[in-house]
Amino acid sequence: MLTDQRRTARRRGPSDRAAYDDSPDTADAFAHLAGLGEGRERDLLCEEVVEAWLPMAHRIAGRFQDKGESLEDLRQVAAMGLLKAVQNFDPRRGRFEPYAVPTIRGELRRHFRDYMWDVHVPRRVQDLRNKVRLARRDLALQPGAGSEPSVAAIATHSGLSEDEVRDGLKAIDGFSALSLDASLVVADEFSLADSLGAPEAAYEVITDREAAKAGLKHLPERERAILYLRFFEDMTQSQIAAHFGISQMHVSRLIHTSCRRVRDEATRGEQPGQDAQAA
């Protein structure tokens, strides 16, 4: 269906001196596609057109190398963008290439935006990251550039506010995440996981102690002392019985009764209907 001219190289403008053999003449094929409905013939012709333009898609994919993705995967993404361009192109709008190139690039950029970030970052912050990264590179290439450019210098060069520059700098480290097993720079014997915080169990203890204070105040002095020896001094019931000169069974009953009174006092505020029922 395609003519032999589809592989003919076309020399480009002054900004692109290389002559690429990736701009085939597919005008007749697109004109024929425009008149076809859904079906086997249209699918086969689309495949031929995509195959003819694949070298261009692969060339565009090659410009996105060294960004953490394999060339083979990039070419597959570019091919998907090319297929979308072929299926949606209207030959009445002009030449195919000016339409296909931004479509393929957009597909590649979406791939990096949606699938290559280890940490989820909003689109706005991703855009800030790109602007900050380019500004840092430009400032580093300037004559006499010394150490890392300041936030103010990046903001002036990029036209961003200093707060936006700080957000962009944080996002630069969010593209790839460190393993929790990675060693800390300051101490090789510790991993990153060792520096992470954990829920503080003592908070619940403090809450329980505060809730129990009111009930403990209403207990007789001996019962308060028994609870203290049992739960704070870790004495056994037999030791407490010997200390007060009473039986171990009596100590057990006192502990059980005292704990119930303290618990009822602590939970009384959590049961609004209890006082009404008691009345």
The structure tokens listed for 144 are: 């006499």
Dist. CA 174–CA 91, nearest whole Å: 42
Cβ neighbours of 134 (radius 10 Å):
13
Reference 263, options 221, 218, 229, 226; nearest CA is 218
Count how many Cα atoms sit within 13 Å of the Cα of residue 117 in the half-sphere of its side chain: 18
Question: Residue 99: what pLDDT?
Answer: 92
The helix or strand, by DSSP H or E, that contains position 78, with its residue range, turns out to be helix 71-88
Dist. CA 132–CA 165, nearest whole Å: 6
For 64, 189, 192, 205, the CA distances from 197, given in Å and listed in that order, are 38, 18, 11, 18
The structure tokens listed for 242 are: 């010997």
Helices assigned H by DSSP within 92-233: 97-115, 123-141, 151-158, 162-172, 202-217, 221-231
Tens-level pLDDT at each residue, the chain (279 residues): 554 444 443 334 433 333 345 788 888 988 888 888 888 888 899 999 999 999 999 999 998 887 767 889 899 999 999 999 999 898 888 899 999 999 999 998 888 777 666 566 677 877 888 888 888 888 888 877 677 888 898 999 899 999 999 888 877 766 666 666 666 665 556 666 666 777 777 777 777 778 788 788 888 999 989 998 998 889 999 999 999 999 999 999 999 999 998 888 888 755 544 443 443
